[in-house]
Amino acid sequence: MEVLPSGEDLSYEKIIIHVDKVKFYAKKVEFYETSNELIKTLTINKIKIDDKGKVTPMEIEFTDIEEEDKTKIVIKEIEYDVELSSSFFSIRTLKKPTL
């Protein structure tokens, strides 16, 4: 799927999203500069599908091609539908969370 942003203040000229045709999740996202040059990619290396069919990316790799830098996020454990009190989103808690 190709996404073409509109407007004057553009970060990217276009974004191409590669979607798994069976499970319908983004496998890879490519970010192109105004010169149509690939500058960043986001790759989902591992997913988890729960009993209800919910797809969760468990391993994500972000590559900055210009800077020759990679960031990898690995989720080892996840819980869904966890109740959080409204105080969890206070400024104080957001600055110094106690999980």
* 36-50 pLDDT tens trace: 899 999 999 999 988
Average pLDDT (7-23) is 85
Q: For residue 22, give its domain range.
A: 2-95
Query: pTM value?
Result: 0.74
Name beta bridge partners: 72.
61
Q: What is the pLDDT of residue 2?
A: 87
| Torsion angles phi and psi, residue 83, rounded to 5 | -80, 135
State both tokens at 64. Answer: 């900055």
CATH number of the domain that residue 7 is part of: 2.50.20.10
When divided into structural domains, the chain yields a total of 1
